[in-house]
Structure formats: C-alpha cells, structure tokens
Amino acid sequence: MNKKQLDEQNKQLQYILIGISILVLLVFGGYYFSQSRLNFNYEGIDFKTVSMGSLVFYEATFPIWYYGEPVEYSYYLRGNPKKTAKEVKLEISGNLNFLPVAIINSSSEFNCNGDGSISVGNLQKVLEIRGTTLQVNQSLGCSENSDYMYLYLTEGEENEIKEISPFCYELRINDCEILKVTERFDLEVLKEIYSRL
C-alpha cells in the first residue's frame, strides 16, 4: 500500500468514526429529551407522565403514613402542571392557609360532563392527605372566626383562584373548566405537602 492509499483509508476511517459519534450523540440526546418530557419538576414537585390507554396523567409520588408505616402514594393530575399554572390565575398572599376542616360550596352544580365529581373527589383526597377534612355544605360561607377553611366554586370570566380572606378561597371557573381550576388548587396543596417532606 502506498502513502496515498493509506491517507485515503485514514480519511474514510475518520468519516466513519465521526458518523458513529454523531449517531451515538443523537440516540443519547433523543433519549434524554424524551425522558425530560416524561419526568420533570414543577415548583419542587417531581412529576412523571403516565399513559393509561388514551389518557395521559401526571403522577406525583410521595410518602404518606399508613397504619404507622411510610408507604409511597401516587397522586394523579389530568392536566400538565406547568400548563395549568399558566392558564389559571392565582391571587393569594404567600401560601395557602389550612385548617383541620374545609367547607366547599358552589354557586351552581358544575357537573361539566362528569368533571365536577372528579374535581371534588380529587380536592377531597389531596386535602385529606394534607390533614384537612373536606365537607360539602351549601349553607355555610366564609368563617369570620377562621373555624374552617372555605372553598367557594363559582362561574367567572376567567379561570382563577382568589384569596378572599386568610382561610377563604374563591375558585372561579370559566366555560366549565372545573378540572383545570381545581387541579391548580391541588398543585398548591401538593407544594405544601412536598415542603414538609
């Protein structure tokens, strides 16, 4: 083999090695990108994207005490937490204020093709995990003596959560997007739960 042929083979080998390196980088980059879309952190809460059939959920896992033993608990949101936080306005001073009992009341039925039941069930579960019992009571309003936390669901021009007084919150729902608004509230409760871990 002469020097020219040897130089030619070395160039071909370099091109092959560069091509393999680029391919390896693309595979690892693609894997990292897909994993970062499936697993992400929002305000200190680690979420994992989970598909169940045609539905996509966002799972937050944390320890809870069950019969005196710590067990992993998974809480599922239907909406992407980052997107929900952008789409639902939050007007509270600092963090949510909690009491052992929360009363929920609404200005209308908010069935919303079954989303109303799912929303209230999710609120009940996340508040229960936090240590607050949720009760439905249409005759009560905001407590002046802070006897209970109060959540009032009402129709609004936009989706937002507004603090009325230290333990009273108005969840304004536009166009039957109750799930989106209550999940925004759930996120705030989850932030408080995670801050205690």
What's the mean pLDDT in 142-153? 93
What are 25-84's pLDDT values in tens digits? Answer: 777 766 666 555 678 999 999 999 999 899 999 999 988 888 888 899 999 999 999 999
Q: What share of the chain has pLDDT > 90, as a percent?
A: 63
Find the range with the poorest average confidence among 30-34, 168-172, 190-194. 30-34
What's the mean pLDDT in 107-136? 92
Exposure class string for 2-32: b at 16+ Cβ within 10 A, else e: eeeeeeeeeeeeeeeeeeeeeeeeeeeeeee
> What is the structure's pLDDT at 152?
95
Residue 195 has pLDDT above 60, yes or no: yes
CATH 3.30.379.10 for domain 81-195, yes or no, is yes
> What is the structure's pLDDT at 33?
63
Asked if 58 and 47 count as a contact pair (C-beta separation under 8 A), the reply is: yes
What's the mean pLDDT in 110-124? 92
How far apart CA 165 and CA 181 sit, in angstroms, is 19
Q: What share of the chain has pLDDT > 70, as a percent?
A: 95
> What is the structure's pLDDT at 177?
95
How far apart CA 4 and CA 12 sit, in angstroms, is 12
Residue 163 has pLDDT above 60, yes or no: yes
Query: Domain spans of the chain?
Result: 3-38, 81-195
